[in-house]
Structure 1
């Protein structure tokens, strides 16, 4: 890979952010933070809101790099990666196929099951499923359950239910955001997340929120959410969540920075929920918190994302 000084003097970096997904506001925050971090590190950075500027309108050059900070559809579902591949542009994160595999929760969970990785029992339903079909699926899993869109992030449209009589209203809320809805066994216990950078785990984080679960407000708005950053060898549970997270990323074939979300039950068993291939990079976000535990500044973290983009370019 080219030297750091050469990258700074020759590379043109375009941070793709915004977009039209329901996660637009968080994407704007993430992209702004990453753009600022790279600028402070001495790079030539431009911000591109894909809601108003199509990729074909960007003045790409041979030394251009796209840093993808588009959360949700278009950014995490493989679409923007396919466009960048067709344009011959180097970009951060996972390739189109791996992005799609992780973004669709049912595909990811099937991958986990195929490799004997623990993930909660689940059923996938089309948005036009009847109330009887929805209730039957929930009863097969057994309360408590989680109802959520099959392909959304930032915990949008997610409901946890102990009373299955409420499952239809939760299903209706989820299908407003997606054509498919996932009903999943709710694991009671501690919430954990493990950031992963190219198959190297950053420090795992245990999350304690005053809310029922780590939802949109807890992630981005609530200053009372507690984050406990641990070393990967600080406890048996920390080691377990780290190991299963690395296995999940390995089998999904992700690259760049990912964030693995898990629950740990009362017996200390980690359960995989999902892998986010473009995790948040806001002031409340977890990847920067884990990086800070290693002594990395935001600029250090953003540089690692950039270096990863160049390193993974040869494999695409």
Structure 2
């Protein structure tokens, strides 16, 4: 069992649980933030809702908040910009700092770091809106095995993603992804099982496997469908579970992840794991994966919320 925070709830001071915002993931953020806020209040924390879409960050100082629990998913909350602003305001916050947040949010640069360290990740190409040539789709498909995932470089919750198997579909998917980002990741599709490993205070929680009858584990499969099947324990052998946990921790550390987060994988038919992406502010809804893994490790949702709050200690008294 992984221990939760040992601090007395009142010792954290006045807390802003920040959720909502203006990203494409606003609705999910509201669900995550509301759940965490409620659990912290039930635990006796002096916590309050704070939506940066409705009020300026300087209100944090005016209202004398002592820490921020970041539950903003996507841009403006998970990309390092909020983290930098809070550091300038000298207010400790949860999770990864500026560099880790920015690297994990950018799927392309994240993969490039992993690739440079020899960590296993699927082959890929990049489409840049400024220089993109639609005539390159045939060659891209051929080089990546004629079945690919298309992902905006800096969106989460599978927003703007598509799985395609022809050059014509690839062109359409790239143009759709360009609506969300000027750079698009085109990644070789790995046939196999999907896994995720949640990380809390430098330790890996039990892995989860996900299966869906949908084309892939998309937004609907994550937040809306009842047909998605989650297994925790995931069914991996003890050796495979240990290997996956070690890879998750190494990958998270490589991109300066800290405090808490989640790393996603595919496992091919031969049993090899491929890194997909890292998340520094994963979902905390009733369908989310981190609470599921925490429960398997013996932590209630409130235990988990308090442990996430305690990650703000990483910056307490060391905000520079």
TM interval, shorter chain, is: over 0.9
Deviations 1:139-189 (A, max 9, x none): 322311111101100001111112233110011111111111111101010
Whether 1:91 aligns to 2:93 is yes
Equivalent in the alignment of 1:250? 253
- Structure 1 unaligned blocks of 5 or more: none
Contact 1:27–1:280 at 8 Å: present in 2 too? yes
Equivalent in the alignment of 1:227? 230
Equivalent in the alignment of 1:27? 29
Equivalent in the alignment of 1:77? 79
Contact 1:255–1:312 at 8 Å: present in 2 too? no
TM-score by length of 2: 0.93
Following TM superposition, by how much is the alpha carbon of 1:257 offset from its aligned partner in structure 2, in angstroms?
1.4
**1:226/1:142 CA distance change after superposition, 3 Å:** same
Contact 2:13–2:67 at 8 Å: present in 1 too? yes
Equivalent in the alignment of 1:107? 109
**1:152/1:206 CA distance change after superposition, 3 Å:** same
Equivalent in the alignment of 1:262? 265
Deviations 1:92-139 (A, max 9, x none): 010011110111011100110111100011111212412113443333
Higher relative contact order (CA 8 A, sep 6+): 2
Contact 2:16–2:65 at 8 Å: present in 1 too? no
Deviations 1:65-112 (A, max 9, x none): 100011110111100000000000000010011110111011100110
Distance 1:158 1:124 in 2: 14
**1:259/1:3 CA distance change after superposition, 3 Å:** closer
**1:178/1:306 CA distance change after superposition, 3 Å:** same
Equivalent in the alignment of 2:194? 191
- Structure 2 unaligned blocks of 5 or more: none
TM-score by length of 1: 0.94
Following TM superposition, by how much is the alpha carbon of 1:14 offset from its aligned partner in structure 2, in angstroms?
0.3
Q: What is the alpha-carbon root mean square deviation over aligned residues?
A: 1.9
Map 1:1-316; keep pairs closer than 5 Å.
Answer: 4-5=7-8, 7-8=9-10, 11-59=13-61, 64-128=66-130, 129-230=132-233, 234-313=237-316, 316=319
Contact 2:141–2:166 at 8 Å: present in 1 too? no
Which deviates more from structure 2 when the two are superposed, residues 159-168 or residues 128-137?
Answer: 128-137
Distance 2:137 2:88 in 1: 40
Contact 1:17–1:50 at 8 Å: present in 2 too? yes
Following TM superposition, by how much is the alpha carbon of 1:312 offset from its aligned partner in structure 2, in angstroms?
4.5
Contact 1:139–1:164 at 8 Å: present in 2 too? no
Distance 1:175 1:20 in 2: 18
Contact 1:95–1:255 at 8 Å: present in 2 too? yes
